[in-house]
Amino acid sequence: MGSKYFEIVHRDGLARIGKLSTAHGTLTTPAILPVVNPNLRLITPSEMKSMGAEGIITNGYIIRRSPELREKAERSGLHSMLQFDGPIMTDSGTFQSYVYGDMEFDNRGMVEFQRKIGSDVVTILDIFSRPDFNRSEASDAVRETYRRLGEIEPSETSFLAGPIQGSLFPDLRRKSSRLMGYSHADYLPVGGVVPLLEQYRYADLVNIIWNVKRYGNKGKPLHLFGGGHPMFLALAVYLGIDLFDSASYAKYARDSRLLFPDGTRDLARIGDFPAWSPLHGRYTVKEVISAEVEEKTLLLARHNLFAIFQELSEVRERIHEQNLWEYVQQKTHSHPSLHAALEQILRIQGGLEAFTELSRRSPYFHFQEHSRGSLFHRRIKRFAEKFVSQRETVRILDTNYRHEGIREKIIEEYEKSSVAFMIPWNGIHVPLELEDTYPVQQVIGSGESNSTTWIRGVMRQYSLQPHDGEVGSKVRNFNLQKLRTIAEFQFGQGIKLFPDSTEIRVSRNTGRIRTASVDEKIMATLRASDGFLTLTMEGAQAMRASITPPRLSVVVSEESAGFNRKGYSVFFKFVDRFDRHLVAGNETLVLDPEEKLIAVGRSRVSGMEFGDYTRGVAVDVHHSVEGRDEDETD
């Protein structure tokens, strides 16, 4: 068993907080590894640590080329040489060979050297696929990089970084991502992107990262080579990048430029250092301008590194609160190139949706301008479209339908009618039955107009107008319809959980549904937090009867089944089969090898990612056949 592993502890769509454990300690991702040039000492690694750097990156090629550094590193090890006891990644010289055109070492020798000096993440000598490469050059870079990876044996103690190349060709990026992702490389940097980052070509970067992420191995850490500018950090993390290295703090400092969360500014043009800067209140701009070059560079480098770590901590917090998307939208208004990147993200929303959780901890912010860009808006809109298109007529409610006195009448009317009742919601209309589910209830909108254009559009095929309601005898029960519609939204069509005989218990205070029982057995509870169903074993049993495995389920090995029956969680390594359409955070059946139901829980990841993880909990079991039945009324 090696001392290296990568585990996800928290997520917000493709963005995640992870733990990368190395022989020299653990890195929390997303992480930024500041570049330490062993020849040019600026900020010391120990000062970097005090500023928030849990790990650093340096260059194995530069060390090996210098007789003095090489001797020192070979004798006392990399960590002692740099006086840094945390994780250290080393690069191989690929970038230097791209900039200066020469390379006197071969791949095997470079890897061997990095391992010998005790690097925690060792990079092969890959081929830098420049953005101006033609297809054949880019394809050669992908092929040769993969061939070189094949020359290297895996290591138990250090991560092996296998860079993903392919220039601007989406299919080559996909191919490279698949090849490296499913090889013995255990760490995946995205290479060949520095020129794009330098030219603010963020829309191109979105394309590259998406192709790499979508088609690659999501269980391995993904690194963006050279991507440490605070402007682009949130977007890159949103698309699933876990690690960055940054030489920009030093490079910009040498050019008398300062990093800010929204861009770069010239020292000569600013009036004062911002309040968050370590230089604020300690130096005037004039003093820094007139300082000796070395001193000036050091001060600006401190400011720049601080700006990077400050942005990183904001991004991590956003993942924790599950509102990184809102932050991304904010960031993309700070520079036209970032706005172009947002446009690109909007084009891939269909693909991103598969990675989105059922609900989040934070409310959904609806911005009119980008309504088509919200994954939650998309999800509910798609359901609403299907819902109304199956009806011949609808009743459109006013926004004030919840008001006391009005609501009772509406429900009475609903129960005497068989048409769809729709509520206006941020420019579209959604089924009344979903009123309490995420994000219908948990939304902060911008007051977008609630015209009926959208619904008329959806209904045009029937040439019918919105209906005004009918009066008759009671033909349906609102709460029962509500449970069925929520189940359909949450699990899809054809899941029969709630027969006509379902008894529904509601909260005396709020009137909201708490539990649904059949034959005095609770089938499901309705969560107050997001309005979705939590299944009991009885409910899970009914769901099992309406599906063909592995729909909505995971099939575990016999080794695991014994534990899961007793209520223990399911680990990735014991999952033999799973539904590719699982939604992260949704109810998931746990089946034994004979496909018999043994437990039910919530999946931690989406079906798109499931097969890539080998470590950690896959499904948090909340009810099981031999477990204690918890009373889950919340």
Q: Give the whole-angstrom CA distance, residue 634 versus residue 622.
A: 14
What's the closest the beta carbon of residue 357 comes to ligand GUN, in angstroms? Answer: 32
Count, residues near ligand GUN per rule CB under 6 A: 13
Does 191 engage in binding with ligand GUN (CB under 6 A)? yes
Residues 225-284 that bind ligand GUN (CB under 6 A): 225-226
Identity of the amino acid at 137: E
β-strands 513-518, 521-526 pairing? antiparallel
- Of 92 and 517, the one with the shorter C-beta distance to ligand GUN is 92
Query: 530 is written with which tokens?
Result: 């997001």
DSSP 493-505: TT-----TT-EEE
C-beta closer to ligand GUN: residue 123 or 586: 123
User: Should residue 86 be labelled a site residue for ligand GUN when binding is judged by CB under 6 A?
Assistant: no
Stretch that binds ligand GUN, among 3-11, 187-195, 355-363, 371-379 (CB under 6 A): 187-195
Cβ neighbours of 41 (radius 10 Å): 11
Interface with ligand GUN in residues 194-233 (CB under 6 A): 194, 225-226
Tell me which stretch binds ligand GUN (CB under 6 A): 189-197, 251-259, 331-339, 605-613: 189-197
- The residues near 123 (Cβ < 8 Å, ≥ 6 apart) are 60, 89, 90, 91, 92, 94, 114, 161, 163, 189
What totals of helices (H) and strands (E) does the chain contain, helices first? 24, 28
**In which region does residue 123 sit, left (phi positive, over 0), alpha (psi from -120 to 50) or beta (all else)?**
beta
Site track 359-388 with ligand GUN (rule: CB under 6 A), x = hit: ------------------------------
- Spatial distance between the Cα atoms of 360 and 376, rounded to a whole number of angstroms: 10
**Nearest distance in Å: CB 39, ligand GUN:** 17
How many Cα atoms within 13 Å fall on the side-chain side of residue 179?
23
Span near ligand GUN by CB under 6 A; candidates 90-98, 134-142, 350-358, 620-628: 90-98
Minimum distance between the CB of residue 107 and ligand GUN, rounded to whole angstroms?
A: 11
CB atoms under 10 Å from CB of 22, counted, come to 23
For position 119 contacting ligand GUN by CB under 6 A, the verdict is no
| Least distance from ligand GUN to the Cβ atom of residue 92, Å | 5
For the CB of residue 59, give the shortest distance to ligand GUN in the complex, in Å: 9
Q: What angle do CA 234, 239, 242 make, to 5 degrees?
A: 75
User: CB of 191: closest distance to ligand GUN in angstroms?
Assistant: 2
- Contact with ligand GUN (CB under 6 A) among 45, 162, 192, 373: 192
Please select the residue that binds ligand GUN; options are 61, 84, 95, 169, rule is CB under 6 A.
95
CA angle 331, 333, 334 (to 5 degrees): 70
Residues in region 135-174 near ligand GUN by CB under 6 A: 163
User: Which of 120, 126, 326, 436 forms a contact with ligand GUN (CB under 6 A)?
Assistant: 126
CB of 452 to ligand GUN, least distance (A): 53
Asked whether position 92 contacts ligand GUN by CB under 6 A, the answer is yes
**CB-nearer residue toward ligand GUN: 299 or 308:** 308
Annotated active-site residue in 12, 91, 436, 530: 91
Which pair of structure tokens corresponds to residue 47? 């000062």
Percent helix, strand and coil across the chain, each to the nearest 5 = 40, 20, 40
Catalytic annotation on 579? no
Among 6, 61, 113, 128, contact with ligand GUN (rule: CB under 6 A): 128
Question: Which strand ranges, in their side-by-side order, compose the sheet holding 617-624?
Answer: 570-571, 617-624, 597-603, 587-591, 553-556, 575-578
In one-letter notation, the amino acid at residue 223 is H
Which spans of this chain sit near ligand GUN (rule: CB under 6 A)? 91-92, 94-95, 123, 126, 128, 163, 191-192, 194, 225-226
**Catalytic residue annotation:** 91
